[in-house]
Structure formats: C-alpha cells, structure tokens
Chains A and B, each alone.
Chain A
Amino acid sequence: MKNLKFLVVGVVFGLALTKGEAASWYRIQEMFQFQSFHMYGIFMTAVPVGALSIFIIRKFNFRTANGQPVIVPTKTYHHGVIFGGLIFGFGWALTGACPGPLYAQIGAGYLVTVATFVAAMIGTWTYVMVQKYLPD
C-alpha cells in the first residue's frame, strides 16, 4: 500500500505525457525535424522546474515525507552515456517513444506497442548479456 502514492504520481505523469503529446510519434518526428517548438518547450520548462525545485529543497533542507534528508542523485560518467545514448536516439526516432511513453501508449489503447515494449525488454536483456564486451 505504501507504493500507492507512486501510482498516483505516475497517473499525473502519464497524463502529462499523453495530453502534452510527448507520447506522440508525430511530435517526436516533428521535433527531430526542428519544425516545432512544442517538444523543446516541454524539455525547456520541465528541466528548470525540476532544477529550481531541487535548489529549493537543498536551500531550505527539506526532508522527505518520513523525515529523511533528501539525497539528490548523482550520475557518473562512462562511455555508455554517449554510445548508449546514440543507440537509444536511433530507437527513439524509429518508435517515437522513450520508455515512459511506451507505457502511456499501451494505456492509451495502442496494444501493438506491447510488441515494441517486449522488444525493449529483450534489448535491455541483450545489453546485460553483452555488457562485458562493450566499452564502458
């Protein structure tokens, strides 16, 4: 039950992805064609809102709901950030979806996206299999 609140946050997030058309294949193609500001506008508002929130959390030492100090995650560099990033970019251009929108599309009734989703799982699984042979 303690996880139910995350489901609620997910609903709002999924709603924003769908109604904001970030889960739209057309919007993603339009973005890569530099034809519209729409998707860039989403990123350019989401990131500052997130960054400002983190700044405020740090500044006023906000704690989590159960009184813990907030730990802002760090990401360490490895070459996968670039190589994996490019590979994901290719897939993004094909499917018009990143992992979040895949869930949103299935929920929106595009059941064929389940096939894309399973392919993504197989992709993740394959990466884990070949991980040790790739430049990290």
Chain B
Amino acid sequence: MEILYKPWPWYIAGPIIGLTVPILLLLGNKKLGISSTLRQLCAACYPAKLPFLNYDWKKELWNLYFAAGILIGGFLGGVMFGNPNPVVITGTTTMYLKSFGLTDLSGLMPAEIFNWDALITVKGFIVMIVGGFLVGFGTRYAGGCTSGHGIMGLSALQWPSLLATVSFFAGGILFNHFVLPIVLSL
C-alpha cells in the first residue's frame, strides 16, 4: 500500500491532466480553466458596478464545482495519501534553497516562509500577498492561466495561448533568477 503515498512521476500526472481537456468537453462543452473561478468569486462577492463582474456567474457554476473538486483532490493527495517524505528535488536546487536558509523541504511549500506569522514580515508579505495579487491580476489580464492557456489553449492549438504560455515562463524564469534571490534574502 506504500505506493499510494508515493508521488506520481510526470508521465502519470501529465497525461491525467491532459485528459481533463476532452473529458470536460465531452461532459458538456466545458473549457478547462481555473483562473476564471477567481473572476466568478469576485462577481459573487463584490461585483460593485463593474461590467466585467456583472454577469450571470451562476451560469458557469460547474467551474466552482470543479474547483471544489481540486480542493478535495488536494486533501486526498496531500493529507490522506500525502507523501510522508520531503520532495525529491535535484541536489542543486536543494543547495540553492539551503543558501537562503530553507532547510525543511517537507510538504508542498517551505513552512519557514508560508505561515501566518510570516504574513506580517516583509518577505512573507511579498511572497504570499504580493505574489497572490500578481497571480490574480496577471491571469485575468492574460485571459487565462496555466490551465486555460497552457493546457487547454495549447491543446486546441491556439497561438495566443502559446504566446501566453511563453510569457508565463519568461516572467517566472526572469523573476526566479533576478528578483526571487533578493526577496528570499530579506
């Protein structure tokens, strides 16, 4: 039963993620895309007078069910059948993270940065709050995220999605190499 707790290799996780594209289409012409749930929740919570948020968000309710499913999947994969061992990343990355004082590589994220007390530190605030803000702002501006553009859009051979995905990676790579080291040293 130990196999249930082991992480999945990319050649298992990748095809399963890819298969959600046809399954959602066949179940009712639904497009994989998760950042749109952020818009839906905004529309549900505080639409103000913004036209972009005043739409019948309940029509796309399936998306929130899908998101709730991801939450449950996260519980199953992270708690019920969570990997008890630290993530097996390459030694170079381990050393790199260690150079910023990140030694505990257990779970999905470093507890040294991601905790409630850290929210009021400069580093924690930038990583969690500024980071989250940029994710929400950028995905909506781009009209999709890693799933909507990166998986769905690329699967449908949409060239704007290719530009979007290249931009996601360009932004991430630039930031990771030039800005993140400064943030992590704070």
Query: Size range of the interface on A?
Result: 35 or more
Q: Would you give the 0/1 interface string for B162-186, flagging 1 where the beta carbon is closer than 8 Å to chain A?
A: 0111111111111111011001000
Residue in contact with B143 in the complex, picked from A78, A117, A126, CB distance below 8 Å:
A78
Q: Looking at chain A's contact residues, is the secondary structure mostly helix, strand, loop, or mixed?
A: helix
Q: Which of A27, A84, A131 has the most CB of B within 10 A?
A: A84
CA distance A95 to B143 in the complex (A): 19
Cross-chain pairs A/B with CB under 8 angstroms, 14 sampled: A3-B65, A7-B66, A12-B20, A14-B72, A14-B76, A29-B176, A35-B90, A64-B28, A91-B137, A93-B176, A98-B147, A100-B146, A108-B82, A116-B129
Within 8 A of A (CB), among B1-35: 7-31, 34-35
List residues of A (112-133) whose CB comes within 8 Å of B's CBs. 112-113, 115-129, 131
B89: chain A residues within 8 A (beta carbon): 26-27, 30, 35-36
Neighbouring B residues of A82 by C-beta, 8 Å? 142, 163-164, 167
Contact with B22, one of A14, A32, A53 (Cβ below 8 angstroms): A53
A3 → chain B closest CB, angstroms:
4
B138 interfacial contact with A, CB 8 Å: yes
Q: Known: A5-B27, A24-B108, A123-B133. Contact between A128 and B140, CB under 8 A?
A: yes
Q: Which residue of B lies closest to A62 (CB)?
A: B26
Please tell me if the beta carbons of B25 and A23 are within 8 angstroms of each other in the complex.
no
**Which residues of the partner chain B approach A22 to less than 8 Å between Cβ atoms?**
13, 17
Task: Report B58 CB to chain A, min CB distance, Å.
Answer: 11
Known contacts A7-B65, A128-B140; is-contact A77 B160 (Cβ 8 Å): yes
- Asked if residues A50 and B13 are in contact (CB atoms below 8 Å), the reply is no
Whether B173 lies near A32 (C-beta < 8 A) is yes
Give residues 76-111 of A contacting B (CB, 8 Å): 76-78, 80-100, 102-110
A46 to B10, CA, bound (A): 9
Most chain A C-beta atoms within 10 Å of own C-beta, residue among B9, B18, B38, B74: B74
